[in-house]
Structure 1
Amino acid sequence: MSQVPKILKLTSNDPGHKLFLMGNEAIARGALEAGVGVAASYPGTPSSEIVGTLSKIGPAIGMYVEWSTNEKVAFETAMAASLCGVRAMASMKHVGVNVALDSIMTASYIGAVGGLVLISADDPGAWSSQSEQDNRYIAQQAYLPVLEPSSVQEAKDMVVRAFDLSEQFQQPFIVRPVTRVAHGRGDVVLGPLPEKRRKGVFFKDASRFVLNPGSVRKNRPLLIQRLKRIQDAANELPFNRLRITDGSRIGIIAGGVAYTYAMDALRWLGIEDSVSVLKIGTTYPVPSKLVLRLLEKMDRVLVIEELEPILELHVKSLAFENRLTPKVHGKDLLPVAGELSVDIVAEAVSRIAERDLPSVIQEARKRRSELVPLAPVRPPTLCAGCPHRASFYDINAASRLVSMELGESVVPVHPGDIGCYGLGFQPPLNSKDVSISMGGSFGMANGFARVLDVPIVAHMGDSTFFHSGIPPMINLVYNRANVTMVILDNSSTSMTGFQPHPGSGVTALGEGTVKISPEAVARACGIEFVEVEDPFETSKAIDTIARAIRHHGPSFVVLRRKCAVLAQREGQKALPWRVDQNKCVDRKPPCQVGCPLHVDVQGYVAHIREGRFSEALELIHERLPFPGILGRVCTRPCEGACIRKKVDDPISIAALHRSVADHAMSNVPKIEIRDSKDQKIAVVGGGPAGITAAFDLRKLGYKVTIFEALPVLGGMLAVGVPEYRLPRDILKSELAIIEEMGVEIRLNTRIGADLSFSELRSSYNAIFLATGAHRSVGLFGDEVEGTPVMDGLELLRNVSLGEKVPSAHKATIVGGGMAAVDCARTCIRLGFQQVEMLYRRSRSEMPVLDEEVQEAEKEGVKIHFLVSPKSILGTKPLRVECVRMSLGEVDASGRRQPSPIHDSEFCIETDLLVSAIGARPAFEFIEEREVRRSSDQRFLHVDQDTMATHIPGVFAGGDAVSGPSTVVQAMAAGRRAAASIDRFLRGLELRCDVSAERGSGNRPLMNLKSVPRAARVQMRTATSEDIFDISREVNLGYSLEEAAQEAKRCLSCECKTCINLLGCPAVILEHGRVAIDQEKCPGCGVCAQVCPNEAIVKGGRDGNSSGN
């Protein structure tokens, strides 16, 4: 029969056998083999598993193990045990040494009695730390020898030997495993366990143990002598090994884990047998005799170590002192920052060995460069259901609430701390503005409060509070700082492995103990405002935190909820939540809501961002026929609604809209026409409203005919918008799409003159009246022919159609709207030497984009504000009497009403006076009995929701109904009319619910604090010489790269409040819809409280309201 193999455990006393261990477990085994009686630590990656392992086995073997409140207490506990003759170990991460440094620096003066070892787990690469500090520097300063393991086996062996050396030389020792060793795994050969552990006995020796100036002067020479003896002994330690290769003139010196990298690199390069190697295990003090033996025989030496050049400096110093001349390399070939690796070391070795990098390394680098960009980005994040996420949401919401009360310029400052909650600093939580060290948030809060007149809301974890938060809290109370302190209490030291702390009510050994509460400590220190809340009850927590911020003096809030991981381990996972998709009607982005056509701005901007211009064009064509036209002439209400303007400038939406046409119109996808229908529809007027209606109706399969009185299609686009704003080739190419779709177009056809309205009604199943507003409002009433005043619309129409226009020296344009600005800039291009505008209101009341006014002024147009013409005094020369105006109350237009100032008349002379003060429709072709007019008889009367007149089948929209408006408003009217005509012809009720299309006007609850500022990409413009060419476009659009750059400024601010405010990994997007990962969701319900649509409900799977 074969023998059953023995099962080994960490406590097995089986010398020579092997166990597969983590580095920290190997260190724990070393403590067992060394006979350690006391082990103390504060949790901190990468050292936590050492005491975590010992806490499970310590009581059974007579070892005392504790999680101390901080590293200073841990070291002092171990040191006291050492002074009683008991072997003791304090373990901590590298930055924890800073906390213990006061005691560590003086410990070396006293020395050790029982072996005293400090485990300093350093973290090259800062994988879980706030710095990469190299504690070998601290060791030198404190005169503490350092053993640095290169493997898991050596980690165990060095711990055992460190205790022997500590007692031999009566000096504390440091063992310095780095993360790669502490968390690495490997076979470890076990050594024997001691039969029994020592009992402590303290022999008093005040001259040694009580430090004062006298004892320091006595002990320091003894300390220096001890270190000298240790340095001599280092040359004989087995952890320092020198191999001189015959004939070799290249040497490698490597310490710690760098030795492992070096040996692998030599093997990869195929030169391991031709290079001399010195392995250093005592990186302080260095084995100087071994170093000198290597230096004497080498021409070139490479010192390999992670982080600081400590070994390198010692080696160079020894070479200099002993007049040795090999070229010593180190950090000139190797990085100071981050971890080393085999390929990094191999490259450095290849350079001093004058060898090419082996193909395996080159291929590995090539593969890595190809594969890394393909790997999904997985930034560290708080767990699903983490109470810290809810806490940060509560803090942010309360801070915003107080900011709104004090004014948006008052932005609270949030000092943060070190812990797993540090992951909340990333979007969307953006939890902290600064963090430096454990306990640092309360200390820094005091400084901020002294120099800033804004709320200071500092947070730290419960374990950190006991570690280092109490002294700065007392300081805030003592110095009466106006600071809100928030404790994130999740009942454990979660980030490092869920270790207990003084607030947990249990020790490292699992024994029950006094449970210390942060709120009790705060009250005992005299803080008046102390409250405890559950962060998952967001409304209460937000209210409490807001009250705390408003409180004058220090305030203290504990947000207490057990860590989600611990709760789930204890079987406390609640039923998951789900999204009721019937209620989760994605709240439209403000830009889409602000657009009269409700174009999916966010969608096509996202395509532009990725360079997909054809896809962007397809998306735009779902809503409108001519992106190139609208991108040039739109008044951009979407940009006014853009949330980005709260950060810097709104997205250049119109310019991006235009860029789609500029870069994709050469490959226009064919517009899909649905099944052809027999019904015929007449569209009277080929302007923006008429064309949009025709576009939509033709897509639905109807037979559509456009009747246009002008010789060109486009209405005001063709004869009212100058070519420098809208090039005619762009206009023609985009309007050609309408004809290509099969829309019949009849130009030079005037209803009433060429075809009666009654004939139209009898020949077509439906009619859409979109005749526009082409008749100007007279300056002094209806102008009589021969009066020296030209109609602005006539001027623009004549220029557009190539007809005769006057030319002279000075032109004066009356009006302040877009038509007036267009007339002024057109006159500049016609060669007028002096162009002026008269506007009866102020600049801020001009109903035109400010940049258009700026461009006009830059071209030479002079604008006189608060001036109105009164009468014509003479025609040869043309003399106009004007009057100055003042602004009174706001009128129906939303602007202040101008009134003449008494006795302020004055006279101007001009060659041409252009009236551009408004326009109105002309309805001669329709009798009033046929289609009702508005109450003032100026416009057609329709139902504003359906665009239907009182005559069945006759609809109207655009400027004929609203009066002069914008292109995009006219297009929106055409869209509404088309939808109603379709419903009419299908026999459906004209009214329908359009709320889903229009979306909600509420602004999304976005946290803009962390959005970096980014300058708006300015559109290229024509040169100063070209702008006077009447056919030359002024704004030249974006290049592909410029468009993508501007599109990247988009914040994608549709609803998705649950995602935007919480960032919970359980709340995801599936096919563009919000969903909840049923496996990840712990059932905390915070997302349900945040959802503005009450669309997140308890239980079941994502889906409709029935849960199916």
Structure 2
Amino acid sequence: MAMVETDQELGFDREYSLKAAFTRDAGRVFLTGIDALVRLPLMQKQLDEQAGLNTAGFISGYRGSPLGGYDQALWRHKKLLAERDIHFEPGINEDLGATNIWGTQLLDHYRQQATRDGVFSIWYGKGHGVDRSADVFRQANIQGTSRLGGVLALCGDDHTAESSMFSHNTDQIFESVMMPLLFPATIDEYLTLGVAGIALSRFSGLWVGFKTITETVESGASIVVPSLPNFVLPESFPVPAHGLNYDPHLNWPAERMEYERRMLEERLPAAKAFAYANKLDKTIVDAPQKRFGIVTVGKAHGDLLEALKLLELTEQDLLEAGISIHKVAMSWPLEPRGMSEFAHGMERILVVEEKRPLVEDQMKNLFYGWADNDRPRVVGKKDLEGNDLLPAIWGFGPDQVAKAIARWLADTELATRLIPLAEKLGSGTLQKAQGLLAREPIFCAGCPHNSSTKLPEGSTGSAGIGCHIMALGKGLRTDTYSHMGGEGAHWVGLHRFSSDKHIFQNMGDGTYNHSGLLAIRQAVASKINITYKILLNDAVAMTGGQPADGEVTVPTLSRQLLAEGVGEVCLVSENPEHWQSRRNQLPKEIKIFHRDELDDVQRKLRDTSGVTAIIYEQVCAAEKRRRRKKGQMVDPARRLLINHRVCEGCGDCSVQSSCIAVEPLETEYGRKRQVNQSSCNKDMRCADGFCPSFVSVEGGELKKPALKSLAESIDEASRGLADAPKPQLDQPLSILVAGIGGSGVLTVAALLGMAAHLEEKGSTTLYFTGLSQKNGAVVAHVKVGNRPQDITTARIRDGAADLLLGCDMVTAAAQRTKFAAGEMKALVNTAEVPVAAFVRNNELAFPAGETAQSIESVAGEYFALDANRYAEALFGDTVAANLMMMGYACQQGLLPVSQSAIERAVELNGVAVENNLRAFRAGRLLVENPRAIDQLLSPAQVVKLVEPQETTEQLVARLATELTEYQSAAYARRFTSAIEALKSSERRLSTAGDKLTRAAALSLFKAMAYKDEYEVARLYSGDAFQRQLRETFSGDYKLKFLMAPPLFARPDASGKIRKIALGPWLAKVLPVLARGKVLRGTPLDVFGYTAERRRERKWAREVQQSVLDVAKSLGSGNIDLAEELLALPQQVRGYGHVRAAKFDGIHSRWNALRERFQAGEGGSGAAAHSVAVR
């Protein structure tokens, strides 16, 4: 359809640079929505200079998705903006940012002191920020803008709650404060409508709203740079003598009515006149025989164009059927003249707009007074019978619009064509697979909130806005929340009617500075019992790691809290020594504690009447990582390693740290733990787990391949690789990229979009992130077509994904509804990356086979690649995995862009260029010459996951050998004798396999090989641990063993035994201690007299006896009971109090199962006599 501007000839833009997106005056550029909003003031400045005006630009507001990255982009281009006299000053909060903007429009009040002709200004904020800024909007708007200034208010609306507490649209807020609202449909309209909005604001004297949503502002597109517009003033509108703009001569309060009169009778009519004169609303299709009209608003216009394609309606079809299309840009106030011209002669009109019916209602009001035979029947949210047509809740897409059109035209000659096509839509959409894991967001590895949000037993807490809200509903007893700035105030109303007399309230330092202090002031005034935990993290991590606006430091914060009347303030820090040495900077009332003492501090404060506060000081983990990479923060030469042979897999390290970098490791001895060195941010809290398997490795570095020789080898091997054939683009290709936040998924999408742009194809990208940067699911939609006008929407509709790049198979499997069943090609990274739920449930199984099958079973072509394993082996970490995926997909002929375009896009991206290029080339080699890659592989830097493949006989033999090493051959024979007896009994049952024997072997081994001091020493002294060290680290390093030896470790204030660090000398002692195993169980065993060791020996005998009892009495009727009984001991894991709790947890179940078995339940007869175990 000729509904979008035509494209230039296709080629390859070899001169393109990222700066061109902001400086190129003609031709094509690739812009994201945020980029366009950075370019917008530059474009306005250019317009003013052409008009001979000496203006400046000013931008202020407060970050919030989907505009969360706007401030970062403005800072990134600070120099370019400053050169054009454009100033950026972020607000402490949204309404203060709006007040900053208000000030720029008062220039006429101080005309004699003015240094510019005017200041055009841009405010920004998410929808919630629009809500709280309505008072500023109302008052500033009624006063008016300056004649050569103008204000554009960018609102970030989130129709489908992609990254908000609830879905929201602010259209009616702008209507309430009487600000015209523009709603761009595409990224190029961010520019054309943006400058139109400023011109509208200047002419009418009104602030102008500018609606951005995820579909556009978080998308990217290859566009043609629009020419600078020439706006006209409406000749038919008489401008009053006093003008339409800010009038410094109006008196307040005497002329308050005059302010309102001018708003309603002059300015709003002026806005409508300007919109008509400059054709902001456009008739896209104008049928000569007008019968039916479709009116679209903003994003819904793209949905309509896609819907028409689905219904196979060409522009010629529309013209012949008498269907016209009108695209509304100014959704409030509706411009009446153009709409009336469009609607006259229509029989019916369908309004396509998301959320509540703003334009539809205005149209009905406009047409209300028309004669019956002239008035078109308007439908949108409801049809003429009052049935739902287009939803007002959530959002909608092309499929729903197509079905609505078919229903709307069901009584016309088009019905026979449209209804069958509409009925097919969605019929083949796949359902989500059941029983698979979900990739939920979780705190980053080493995040302060992993510890700071924990509460003492018996307490409850409340959340607020910030990363810490992820503690909500995670079993951490953080159950309620409030809006930003209201944290804790809800307890003022609630506490009177609750038996709880105290609550903890989390508040981030950004929120505190934004508006949270007022809530604390309210709590103090109300004399409630509440403890605020102010999480001082030195960054606004939730929206990308920006610095908090305004300085919030420990000294200023503590003084302010005390001055506000907070009764007791405690500082809890990861580095209390820093503040102990600077005690004079803090008020004398402040008490300083280490973060390990948080629980004690909280218990004390919850028993303290009134308002108390904890300042929890620890730098954001993601920010630490960024600063360390830039050399702005010391990177401690220390890492943790888990000796997986010593590890019991109890999960106490995850309980203590809540850290996602502590991952499951499946070994031949069962599930253990490992530290993912790629994602670890060195918080070290996992070492608090009560377990001797942790070693601190100080000095040295992670072992990496010899990168220089690796680079040369990859370059040499990939030289001469031919380009794979690219798929044809008869229709735009829809590519779904699915992965984990923070792993570079959005980079993959951005590179694909840029590569297509460089080849002068049409391309769009669209990102769905939410909280995904916190290890959650992130999804990107990429579309590539021969021409920009071939792509009408950036979002991939259900059942339309042509290619899946599954950088994480869990996230990929969750996108099944998008798959084109039987046609989609899929490349999936088969790495088993733990999900957030594993931190809370260490028994959680990863259903890798089922997850992969849910994709493979519906794909036309399926390719599997363990990209993480290759990336770690070749490059030393998993960061390179996604670029390897891109290379693999490119060489398989799956991507619609060439390798040279992708490599140029990598160069333009400017981040780790050499490594990313080599990762991309390595991926290509894995297709064409996998042997070349295999020859480069060095031993893995971490222990590889092992799937047990051995037979039961091999398993028993291996465990017996291990028990011989553990104690003696005689000790091992006790094990094999019991297992062989059970195996014989199981084999006598014709329907049985060897499942029971395997379970019994694992359980009995675990009970007999309990890890006492001798065994821990042996497992540290053996070759396996030394090999693990060599494969993980290189250089000059020393070890510290983190243990709690009975003779040295002491309990803390809570009675919990604390681990201590034992130096490298212990490595010489351990082999000597290991040889002491011959004393185990004898009178000379000094460790054996403890209650813990006596219990271990008793337990081993008890499990062995149970194996023999089962062997004697096994029958077909009790085999299930036997299996449950003999598998239970595998749940006893850990050390010390952790292991004791596991014992206690299964004890009653164990006894009950034994009694049932011994009583003959389910058996074929009376139980035989037991064989005693000595």
What is the CA–CA distance in structure 1 between the aligned matches of 2:990 and 2:310, rounded to whole Å? 69
What is the aligned partner in structure 2 of residue 269 from structure 1?
A: 311
What is the aligned partner in structure 2 of residue 91 from structure 1?
A: 124
What is the aligned partner in structure 2 of residue 214 from structure 1?
A: 254
Q: 1:740 to 1:3 in 2, by over 3 A?
A: closer
Query: Is 1:392 matched with 2:453?
Result: yes
Give the 3-state SS of the residue equivalent to 2:185 in structure 1.
coil
Q: 1:17 to 1:381 in 2, by over 3 A?
A: same
Q: 1:738 to 1:34 in 2, by over 3 A?
A: closer
Give 1:499 shift: 1.7
What is the CA–CA distance in structure 1 between the aligned matches of 2:606 and 2:305, rounded to whole Å? 59
Q: For 1:878-932, what per-residue CA distance to the aligned partner results, in whole angstroms no more than 9, with x for missing partners?
A: xxxxxxxxxxxxxxxxxxxxxxxxxxxxxxxxxxxxxxxxxxxxxxxxxxxxxxx
Amino acid at match of 2:205: Q
What is the CA–CA distance in structure 2 between the aligned matches of 1:739 and 1:295, rounded to whole Å? 78
Q: For 1:771-791, what per-residue CA distance to the aligned partner results, in whole angstroms no more than 9, with x for missing partners?
A: xxxxxxxxxxxxxxxxxxxxx
Question: What is the 5 A alignment of 1:308-327?
Answer: 308-323=356-371, 324-327=374-377
Q: 1:347 to 1:292 in 2, by over 3 A?
A: same
What is the CA–CA distance in structure 1 between the aligned matches of 2:94 and 2:564, rounded to whole Å? 24
Alignment equivalent of 1:519, drawn from 546, 550, 558 = 558
Alignment equivalent of 2:67, drawn from 43, 47, 50 = 47
Tell me, yes or no, if the aligned pair for 1:382 and 1:389 is still in contact at 8 Å: yes
What is the aligned partner in structure 1 of residue 405 from structure 2?
A: 349
Q: For 1:779-826, what per-residue CA distance to the aligned partner results, in whole angstroms no more than 9, with x for missing partners?
A: xxxxxxxxxxxxxxxxxxxxxxxxxxxxxxxxxxxxxxxxxxxxxxxx
Tell me, yes or no, if the aligned pair for 1:92 and 1:120 is still in contact at 8 Å: yes
Alignment equivalent of 1:456, drawn from 503, 506, 515 = 503
Query: Is 1:424 matched with 2:471?
Result: yes
Give 1:231 shift: 1.7
Q: 1:435 to 1:944 in 2, by over 3 A?
A: closer
Q: For 1:811-843, what per-residue CA distance to the aligned partner results, in whole angstroms no more than 9, with x for missing partners?
A: xxxxxxxxxxxxxxxxxxxxxxxxxxxxxxxxx
Query: Is 1:580 matched with 2:637?
Result: no
Tell me, yes or no, if the aligned pair for 2:125 and 2:155 is still in contact at 8 Å: yes
What is the aligned partner in structure 2 of residue 173 from structure 1?
A: 208
Q: 1:576 to 1:1006 in 2, by over 3 A?
A: farther
Q: 1:132 to 1:531 in 2, by over 3 A?
A: same
What is the CA–CA distance in structure 2 between the aligned matches of 1:296 and 1:739, rounded to whole Å? 81
Tell me, yes or no, if the aligned pair for 2:287 and 2:324 is still in contact at 8 Å: yes
Tell me, yes or no, if the aligned pair for 1:244 and 1:277 is still in contact at 8 Å: yes
Which protein has the bigger helix share?
2
What is the CA–CA distance in structure 2 between the aligned matches of 1:702 and 1:446, rounded to whole Å? 66
Tell me, yes or no, if the aligned pair for 2:57 and 2:119 is still in contact at 8 Å: yes
Give 1:8 shift: 6.1
Q: 1:451 to 1:271 in 2, by over 3 A?
A: same
Amino acid at match of 1:448: L
Give 1:946 shift: 11
Question: What is the 5 A alignment of 1:658-807?
Answer: 700=981
Alignment equivalent of 1:231, drawn from 272, 294, 301 = 272
What is the aligned partner in structure 1 of residue 150 from structure 2?
A: 115
Tell me, yes or no, if the aligned pair for 1:673 and 1:701 is still in contact at 8 Å: no
Q: Matched residue pairs, number?
A: 619
Query: Is 1:125 matched with 2:160?
Result: yes
What is the CA–CA distance in structure 1 between the aligned matches of 2:27 and 2:543, rounded to whole Å? 31
What is the aligned partner in structure 2 of residue 444 from structure 1?
A: 490
Give 1:254 shift: 0.5
Q: 1:214 to 1:551 in 2, by over 3 A?
A: same
What is the aligned partner in structure 1 of residue 541 from structure 2?
A: 494
Query: Is 1:303 matched with 2:351?
Result: yes
Q: 1:210 to 1:415 in 2, by over 3 A?
A: farther
Alignment equivalent of 2:441, drawn from 380, 398, 406 = 380
Greater Cα offset, 24-33 or 514-523:
514-523
Tell me, yes or no, if the aligned pair for 1:55 and 1:66 is still in contact at 8 Å: no
What is the CA–CA distance in structure 2 between the aligned matches of 1:206 and 1:165, rounded to whole Å? 14
What is the CA–CA distance in structure 2 between the aligned matches of 1:15 and 1:370, rounded to whole Å? 47
Q: 1:343 to 1:357 in 2, by over 3 A?
A: farther
Amino acid at match of 1:136: D
What is the CA–CA distance in structure 2 between the aligned matches of 1:253 and 1:188, rounded to whole Å? 24
Query: Is 1:143 matched with 2:166?
Result: no
Query: Is 1:369 matched with 2:430?
Result: yes
Question: What is the 5 A alignment of 1:553-592?
Answer: 553-571=610-628, 575-586=638-649
What is the CA–CA distance in structure 1 between the aligned matches of 2:508 and 2:611, rounded to whole Å? 18
Amino acid at match of 2:64: G
What is the CA–CA distance in structure 1 between the aligned matches of 2:326 and 2:434, rounded to whole Å? 39
Give 1:188 shift: 4.0
Q: 1:131 to 1:80 in 2, by over 3 A?
A: same
What is the CA–CA distance in structure 2 between the aligned matches of 1:136 and 1:99, rounded to whole Å? 14
Give 1:674 shift: 13
What is the CA–CA distance in structure 2 between the aligned matches of 1:329 and 1:450, rounded to whole Å? 50
Give 1:238 shift: 3.1
Give the 3-state SS of the residue equivalent to 1:30 in structure 2.
helix
What is the CA–CA distance in structure 1 between the aligned matches of 2:611 and 2:1096, rounded to whole Å? 57
Question: What is the 5 A alignment of 1:467-486?
Answer: 467-486=514-533
What is the aligned partner in structure 2 of residue 71 from structure 1?
A: 94
Higher radius of gyration, 1 or 2: 1
Give 1:300 shift: 2.6
What is the CA–CA distance in structure 2 between the aligned matches of 1:542 and 1:98, rounded to whole Å? 38
Give the 3-state SS of the residue equivalent to 1:276 in structure 2.
strand
What is the aligned partner in structure 1 of residue 825 from structure 2?
A: none
Q: Percent of counterpart pairs with the same letter?
A: 22
Amino acid at match of 1:82: Q
Q: 1:96 to 1:974 in 2, by over 3 A?
A: closer
Q: 1:496 to 1:587 in 2, by over 3 A?
A: closer
Give 1:554 shift: 0.7
Amino acid at match of 2:511: T
Give the 3-state SS of the residue equivalent to 1:239 in structure 2.
coil
What is the CA–CA distance in structure 1 between the aligned matches of 2:616 and 2:984, rounded to whole Å? 67
Tell me, yes or no, if the aligned pair for 1:13 and 1:192 is still in contact at 8 Å: no
Tell me, yes or no, if the aligned pair for 1:504 and 1:515 is still in contact at 8 Å: no
Give the 3-state SS of the residue equivalent to 1:349 in structure 2.
helix
Tell me, yes or no, if the aligned pair for 2:174 and 2:209 is still in contact at 8 Å: yes
Amino acid at match of 1:76: T
Give the 3-state SS of the residue equivalent to 1:175 in structure 2.
strand
Q: 1:557 to 1:227 in 2, by over 3 A?
A: same
What is the aligned partner in structure 2 of residue 27 from structure 1?
A: 37
Tell me, yes or no, if the aligned pair for 1:208 and 1:219 is still in contact at 8 Å: no
What is the aligned partner in structure 2 of residue 37 from structure 1?
A: 57
Give the 3-state SS of the residue equivalent to 1:278 in structure 2.
strand
What is the CA–CA distance in structure 2 between the aligned matches of 1:262 and 1:321, rounded to whole Å? 29
What is the CA–CA distance in structure 2 between the aligned matches of 1:23 and 1:529, rounded to whole Å? 47
Tell me, yes or no, if the aligned pair for 2:203 and 2:270 is still in contact at 8 Å: no
What is the aligned partner in structure 1 of residue 336 from structure 2?
A: 288
Give 1:339 shift: 2.6
Give the 3-state SS of the residue equivalent to 1:87 in structure 2.
strand
Tell me, yes or no, if the aligned pair for 1:491 and 1:504 is still in contact at 8 Å: no
What is the CA–CA distance in structure 1 between the aligned matches of 2:515 and 2:42, rounded to whole Å? 31
What is the aligned partner in structure 1 of residue 6 from structure 2?
A: none
Which runs of 5 or more structure 2 residues have no equivalent in the other structure? 1-11, 46-55, 108-117, 230-242, 383-388, 576-593, 629-633, 653-951, 957-973, 994-1093, 1114-1127, 1143-1160, 1163-1174
Give the 3-state SS of the residue equivalent to 1:322 in structure 2.
coil
What is the CA–CA distance in structure 1 between the aligned matches of 2:512 and 2:39, rounded to whole Å? 32
Tell me, yes or no, if the aligned pair for 1:110 and 1:208 is still in contact at 8 Å: no
Give 1:376 shift: 5.3
What is the aligned partner in structure 2 of residue 240 from structure 1?
A: 281
Q: 1:210 to 1:470 in 2, by over 3 A?
A: farther
Give 1:206 shift: 11
Give the 3-state SS of the residue equivalent to 1:163 in structure 2.
helix
Alignment equivalent of 2:103, drawn from 80, 104, 112 = 80
